[in-house]
Amino acid sequence: MQPTTGVWRRLRVILEMIKFEHTLFALPLAFAGVLLAEERWPSVKTAVLVLLAMVGARSAAMAFNRIADATLDARNPRTTDRAIPTGLISVGWGLAFIATASLLYFTAAYLLNPLCYVLSFPALAIVLLYSYTKRFTALCHLFLGLALALAPFGGWLAVTGRFEWKAAALSPGVLFWVAGFDVLYACMDVEFDREAGLFSVPASLGRKRALQLSRVFHMLAWCCFAGAGWLLGLGVFYFAGVAGVGALLIYEHLLVKPHDLSRLDTAFFTVNSWVSVVLFLGVLGDKLFSF
């Protein structure tokens, strides 16, 4: 009984380590792509496989990030209590979890269609590579945006199994939205990033200018989401969702000041999780009245 208890304890720690509940950031975006792909409801099989693929990919990416950053996390006062630096989880357990999550992702992609399976390998490579980009470029925030921008694109391909320009309609908005909130998050580590020789917009430009750039990214994101609705011929419910996204982004920036990051967790985790949900609800509402 003790080994089983140990396995479940480690699994629970790993899920806490990767912030499993924050899969909510990307999952609604993938399902937005699923709904937009065809003028009909997706099958239960497709919906379940998309869910499994997203959970697998996101879990593998987050665990990989924790392993890649383990030595940095041990030096950063903000992250010294994470599972790997404190010894709660070994690197070996982390690698086993990554292998399992990746297998789940590849299996789901294989069962969806051949194109999803072929593209699943470079897609996961992009998601994993993000963990190293801050070692050589301040464009790491945009690279993370690219990784999450694959979600609606992948959701569309999961349904159709073919390339179409419309599949990428939401992706530019996702890219700038994610880059904007990742710049905000990086404001917490300005001093450490400079000391460790890591690259980020806040470390390069300072918090004040970084926050200004984050606002620009989020304005671009909002314009791209609105433009996607126009390109795809979506209706009032979608644009109501876009308006809601705009309100959330404004609120997010009201919470964070260059010299006051006390509410950054609320801005980053709570508000941003609602952005993807509100956008998805806009797509869902639009499609409920067009199917």
Do residues 158 and 51 touch, judged by C-beta distance below 8 A?
Answer: no
CATH topology of domain 2-288: Tetracycline Repressor; domain 2 (1.10.357)
Do residues 158 and 113 touch, judged by C-beta distance below 8 A?
Answer: yes
103-127 tens-digit pLDDT? 999 999 999 999 999 999 999 999 9
Q: Is the pLDDT of residue 232 over 60?
A: yes
Residue appearing with tokens 């599949």: 167
Q: Is the pLDDT of residue 15 over 80?
A: no
Select from 221, 219, 201 the least CA-distant residue to 211.
201
> What are the domain boundaries of the chain?
2-288
Q: Is the pLDDT of residue 4 over 60?
A: no
Confidence label for 266 from pLDDT (cuts 50, 70 and 90): confident
Q: Is the pLDDT of residue 291 over 90?
A: no
Q: Is the pLDDT of residue 3 over 50?
A: no
Q: What per-residue confidence (pLDDT) applies to 5?
A: 52
The residue with greater pLDDT, 188 or 7, is 188
212-225 tens-digit pLDDT? 999 999 999 999 99
Q: Is the pLDDT of residue 86 over 80?
A: yes
pTM equals 0.92
Q: What per-residue confidence (pLDDT) applies to 21?
A: 66
Q: What per-residue confidence (pLDDT) applies to 2?
A: 41
Residue 257 bridge partners (DSSP):
260
List, as one string, the DSSP characters of the chain. Answer: -HHHHHHHHHHHHHHHHTTGGGGGGTHHHHHHHHHHHSSSPPPHHHHHHHHHHHHHHHHHHHHHHHHHTHHHHHH-TTTTTSHHHHTSS-HHHHHHHHHHHHHHHHHHHHHH-HHHHHHHHHHHHHHHHHHHHTTT-TTHHHHHHHHHHHHHHHHHHHHH-S--GGGGSSHHHHHHHHHHHHHHHHGGGHHHHHHHT---HHHHH-HHHHHHHHHHHHHHHHHHHHHHHHHHT--HHHHHHHHHHHHHHHHHHHH-BTTB-TTHHIIIIIIHHHHHHHHHHHHHHHHHTT-
Select from 232, 114, 108, 110 the least CA-distant residue to 162.
114
118-160 tens-digit pLDDT? 999 999 999 999 999 999 999 999 999 999 999 999 999 999 9
Q: What per-residue confidence (pLDDT) applies to 244?
A: 97
Exposure string over 188-227, b if 16+ CB within 10 A, otherwise e = bbbebbeeeebbbbbbebebeebbebbbebbebbbebbbe
17 residue type, one letter: M
